[in-house]
Amino acid sequence: MPGSHTSGAYPPLVSAEASGDEVFGHAEAEGFEQVVFGHDSATGLRAVVAVHSTVLGPAIGGTRFRPYEREAAAVTDVCRLARGMTFKHAVAGLDAGGGKAVILGEPATLRSDQLMRAYARVIDGLGGRYLTAEDVGTNQADMDLIGSVTPYVTGRSVSLGGSGDPSPATAWGVRCAFDAVAKRLWGAADLAGRHVVVSGVGKVGSALVDHLIDAGCRVTVADVAGAAVLAVRRRHPAVEVVDPADAHAVACDVFSPCAMGAVLSGATIAQLRCAAVCGSANNQLQTPADGARLADHGVLYAPDYVVNAGGVINIAEERRRSGATYDRDRAWAQVAEISTTLQRVLARADADGTTPAEAADRLVEERLAAANRVTAVRSVTT
């Protein structure tokens, strides 16, 4: 693979703590098509790209740039995120598969143009099976730089023909999902007077707070970054603040996790004092059993990959088969359909007597199975 190798001064990406069985275990147990390791000693690049599925189209997913305590944790994270992207694209009706990438290291000290170009060569070597976008630790400038090396990138600057930062679209999609939650719980898409706790006010969470304030909500925020909280309070002085460790336990109408995943576990669910969970964070359930725990606790769960699909729906407008240029109004009208999709998921849960998380999974599995059948027929007839 161009720009990618395993020799040099840096340790192997999969350390002694992560055996080969552990790496291949992810691929085999969860049906991954490909897991690729990229390394460039000159720049310090260590990256993992996971392609979960290309059944519906090329795998699309962001690049996360962050330090990990163990390299095995990076593999686990990227695989879990890639699988989530398959489900996100499928339930949103997009013709795209699931993929994700991580660059290991502290972006504030490791990021350089040379490193990002080396990473772009890793992506280019996949020949279009995976298209990247920005994620935690990467930004639009990174995508523009990657795009100077490989065409397999999305979310570039509007001036370069891209759709720009996907965060506003993601936040708008979460806001639209709130309408479906409100209809289910209170009979109408009216949030006036409702109390929402937003845990994580980065780019998506901060924009969501703006939408919720506009809708007449009382909002409480939490974030490990004091500067992020301060920025929100400068715009909205009435917003309340709570410690991030306590955010999930605040009495409210909706708890909205908008930071890292696995926030909903047996321990935290028991402490919830909300009617619903609806947020932008990926992989909010620590285990699949936590969907049932939420239902048993009397909390309506809006499945994360349904709720946070706004960014990928927006990006899909860059890839219209007609060749039409990106149209923001058209893209955001599609993002607004997240409310309808979530209502369909909740209706399916009612019909099947199951949880919203299981209902969303079933809808995805049915679409993937149908696509696989079509692929099998084409293979036989060609």
φ, ψ of residue 97 in degrees (nearest 5): -100, -175
What pLDDT digit, counting tens, does each position of 223-234 carry?
Answer: 999 999 999 999
* Same domain, yes or no: 246 and 178: yes
Residues 215-244 have a mean pLDDT of 97
Report if residue 28 sits inside a domain: yes
* Percentage of the chain modeled with pLDDT above 90: 74
DSSP 264: B
Question: What's at 87, amino acid-wise?
Answer: F
Long-range contacts of the stretch 40-43 (C-beta < 8 A, 24+)? 40/3, 40/4, 40/5, 40/8, 40/115, 40/118, 40/119, 41/5, 41/7, 41/8, 41/9, 41/10, 42/114, 42/118, 43/112, 43/114, 43/115, 43/118
Full residue range of the structural domain in which residue 273 is found: 168-309+338-365
Instruction: Give the count of beta carbons closer than 10 Å to the beta carbon of residue 285.
Output: 22
What pLDDT digit, counting tens, does each position of 347-379 carry?
Answer: 999 999 999 999 999 999 999 999 876 544 433
**Inter-residue contact 273 to 251 (CB < 8 Å):** yes
* Same domain, yes or no: 144 and 257: no
**Of the candidates 278, 291, 299, which has an alpha carbon nearest to the alpha carbon of residue 354?**
291
DSSP 309: T
* Same domain, yes or no: 66 and 203: no
Contacts (Cβ under 8 Å, ≥6 apart) of 357: 285, 288, 291, 294, 301, 303
Contacts (Cβ under 8 Å, ≥6 apart) of 368: 53, 55, 56, 86, 90
Q: At 381, is the pLDDT very low, low, confident or very high (cuts 50, 70, 90)?
A: very low
Report if residue 5 sits inside a domain: no
**Inter-residue contact 280 to 171 (CB < 8 Å):** yes
Q: 40 has which bridge partners?
A: 45
What pLDDT digit, counting tens, does each position of 31-79 carry?
Answer: 789 999 999 999 999 999 999 999 999 999 999 999 998 898 999 889 9
- Domain count for the chain, please give it: 2
Domain boundary among 105, 134, 162: 162
DSSP 11: P
Sign of the alpha-carbon dihedral angle for 4, 134, 301, 366: negative
Report if residue 151 sits inside a domain: yes
Determine whether 183 is an active site residue: no
CATH number, domain containing residue 148: 3.40.50.10860
The pTM (predicted TM-score) of the whole model is: 0.83
Report if residue 370 sits inside a domain: no
- Supply the pLDDT for residue 18: 46
Angle at which helices 167-186 and 328-335 cross, to 10°: 30
Average pLDDT of the chain, as a whole number: 89
* Same domain, yes or no: 225 and 354: yes
Length in residues, the chain: 382
Query: Which has the higher per-residue pLDDT, 63 or 282?
Result: 63
CATH number, domain containing residue 280: 3.40.50.720
Report if residue 210 sits inside a domain: yes
**Of the candidates 283, 258, 105, 67, which has an alpha carbon nearest to the alpha carbon of residue 167?**
258
Report if residue 325 sits inside a domain: no
What pLDDT digit, counting tens, does each position of 114-161 carry?
Answer: 999 999 999 999 999 999 999 889 999 999 999 999 999 998 888 888
The rounded distance, in Å, linking the Cα atoms of 100 and 309 is 15
**Of the candidates 275, 276, 302, 308, which has an alpha carbon nearest to the alpha carbon of residue 205?**
308
- Out of 88, 100, 183, 203, pick the active-site residue: 100
* Same domain, yes or no: 197 and 253: yes
For the purposes of burial, counting CB atoms within 10 Å of the CB of 207, is it exposed (0-12), middle (13-18) or buried (19 or more)?
buried
The rounded distance, in Å, linking the Cα atoms of 223 and 204 is 12
Residue recorded with tokens 């669910």 = 269
Q: At 295, is the pLDDT very low, low, confident or very high (cuts 50, 70, 90)?
A: very high
Q: 34 has which bridge partners?
A: 51
Token pair of 60 as six digits: 């699309």
DSSP 153: B
Report if residue 377 sits inside a domain: no
What pLDDT digit, counting tens, does each position of 305-330 carry?
Answer: 999 999 999 988 887 655 567 788 88
- Supply the pLDDT for residue 130: 97
* Same domain, yes or no: 240 and 132: no
If DSSP codes are grouped into helix, strand and coil, which group holds residue 120? Answer: helix
* Same domain, yes or no: 244 and 266: yes
* Same domain, yes or no: 153 and 285: no
* Same domain, yes or no: 156 and 193: no
